[in-house]
Structure 1
């Protein structure tokens, strides 16, 4: 039994396909298949059910794959311990971020990380919460920036900040004349939501649970529309299709500048399209302000403690306007 063989069975279990597993391990499919067959013969157990259309892991195979993943992590830990003896921060850190945080935190975070720990480049991935949790479990990423709540997977968690939500309404909407808004007032509007699988969708529905029934059937299409990204949703707001909630870090800085009268632009043959923020009014909530807690999560078996601490320091060095930092 070798670490290479264990790596192969973990890859096939994850991909549920011998060809894709071989590709993930950068070997040919025959090489991978022969190695797995050899391991099955050595253990005298069947790890995978090989059907025509898919590969499934046998019940005993699932237990062996979990142990193999643990062994591979321990082997990586030995390498990391050796690296830490030279430089605890040496080497890339694989960081996952959910879609509604990445575009607004990463530009500043990357700059801070380069300035503070240039020897530790960030390998970044944006994905859905459920996918990032799976990749944390399998060791494909080292840590992830997520928004609570999410399923308890026995991860180590460090709170980063509490982020308030704001309402985004078209600039020509009746509510745009307001300086603040309540959740009750949003109930009368057409709510724009992210698609199923985005945790921010669930956060919006917590504030306005009435839209849950509209968002799951065709009859409610007049009351609820879905977009693939938060920026797409903003464009739909700007177009006057409805209103939505956005996290504070996603609000452009110029949205908080006082409105000043401007002279009409000079006539020109080419049409000038105004910037998107001019089409959207962002409103804070009155009274109880809905928020989300953003945290850093990593496997308890991950041994680069200094790297996690350095990443937190880089996050806290970011501007993070309007959020409540947590220690």
Structure 2
């Protein structure tokens, strides 16, 4: 068996689909399928159950994929150990980041990373939390910037900052003149939410739990609408479709479009203000700790207006 074959089965286990797994591995589907069939024949076991719409793991396949993930990670660690012996800050750092942080942190972060560690370019992957956790486990990412909470997966965690939430309303809305607002006041409003999969959607539903029932049934279209990104939702707010809750760093993002930004008013929450904790996570076995420390320094070099910086 080869590391390539192990990467293929891990990809199929993650994607539950041969075509998507092949795309993720940058190979054709026949190439991936033949390699996996060869591995199953070599091991004399069936790793996957092939269905018409989805692929699932057999009981033995689950154990094999888990071991394959470990082997891939250890193989990557050998390369990292060799790099570390030369210069732990030399070479790309594979960084994942969730959709509701990336657009607002990355412009500053990349600039400061270039200034502080030009020999360590950032390879960026923007995705959902669950996908980033999978990629961390398999070694496809070195580290990731995410918002707590997320499932405990044995990762090392370093807190970066606590970010307050704010309410976004149309400029002409009755609430636009308020200096602060409680979640109770939002109950009668039409709430705009991110789609399923975004952890920030869950954060908003924790602040306004009454909208959870509207977001899961057909009748709820009268009280909640969904958007694909925070920026799309802010445009929906500007057009008068409803109100939403946004993280503090996302507010400055719209300042480069003053006309659009002027159509939305942002109101702080009354105490206790809801917040999210943003953290940097990496595998405990990742050998380039100096690279992690350098990335944290680049984050702390960012302006991060309106958030509370944290350290260990």
Q: Which string of whole-angstrom CA distances, capped at 9 and with x for unpartnered residues, describes residues 141-197 of structure 1?
A: 221111111122222111110000111111111211122212221222221111111
Correspondence for 1:119: 119
- Pick closer, same or farther for the CA change 1:82–1:50 going to 2, 3 Å: same
Report the Cα distance in structure 2 between the residues aligned to 1:53 and 1:225, rounded to whole angstroms.
29
Distance 1:190 1:23 in 2: 39
Whole-angstrom distance in 2 between the partners of 1:178 and 1:108: 31
- Given that 2:158 and 2:279 are in contact with CA atoms closer than 8 Å, whether structure 1 keeps it comes out as yes
CA distance in 2, matches of 1:15, 1:186: 38
Q: Tell me which residue corresponds to 1:316.
A: 300
Structure 2 Cα separation of the partners of residues 193 and 53 of structure 1: 29
After superposition, the Cα gap between the structure-2 partners of 1:71 and 1:184, relative to the gap in structure 1 and judged at 3 Å, is: same
Give the C-alpha shift of residue 116 in structure 1.
0.7
Give 3-state SS (helix, strand or coil) of 1:232's partner: helix
SS in structure 1 of the partner of residue 80 of structure 2: helix
- Taking the aligned partners of 1:173 and 1:207, their CA distance within structure 2 comes to 21
Q: Note the 1:264-303 alignment, pairs <5 A.
A: 275-303=259-287
C-alpha deviation, 1:124, in angstroms: 1.1
2:233 paired residue number: 233
CA-CA distance at 1:19 after TM superposition: 5.5
SS at match of 1:307: helix
Deviation of the 1:288 alpha carbon: 1.1
CA RMSD of aligned residues (A): 2.3
**3-state SS of paired residue (2:96):** strand
> Which residue does 1:260 correspond to in 2?
none
Match of 1:304 in 2: 288
**What's the CA shift string for 1:20-46, capped at 9, x where partnerless?**
555554556565555444443443323
Contact 1:252–1:277 (8 Å) recurs in 2: no
Range with greater deviation from structure 2 (218-227 or 196-205):
218-227
Q: 1:191 to 1:69 in 2, by over 3 A?
A: same
Larger radius of gyration: 1
In structure 1, the partner of 2:160 is 160
1:275-308 residue CA offsets vs partner (Å, 9 max, x unmatched):
1111111111222111111111112222221111
Q: The residue matched to 1:187 in structure 2 has which SS?
A: helix
1:231-270 CA-to-partner distances (Å, cap 9, x unmatched) read 1111111111111111110112897xxxxxxxxxxxxxxx
Whole-Å Cα distance in 2 between the matches of residues 218 and 29 of structure 1?
Answer: 37
- CA 1:285–1:133 in 2, change beyond 3 Å: closer, same or farther? same
The question of 1:250 aligning with 2:250 is answered yes
> Using a 3 Å threshold, how does the CA distance of structure 1 residues 214 and 47 change in structure 2: closer, same or farther?
closer
In the TM superposition, what is the alpha-carbon distance from 1:2 to its structure 2 partner? 3.4
Number of aligned pairs?
A: 310
Hey, what does 1:268 align to over in structure 2? none
Q: Decide which moves more: 66-75 or 37-46.
A: 37-46
CA distance 1:185–1:216, change in 2 (3 Å): same
2:155 and 2:283 in contact (8 A); partners too = yes
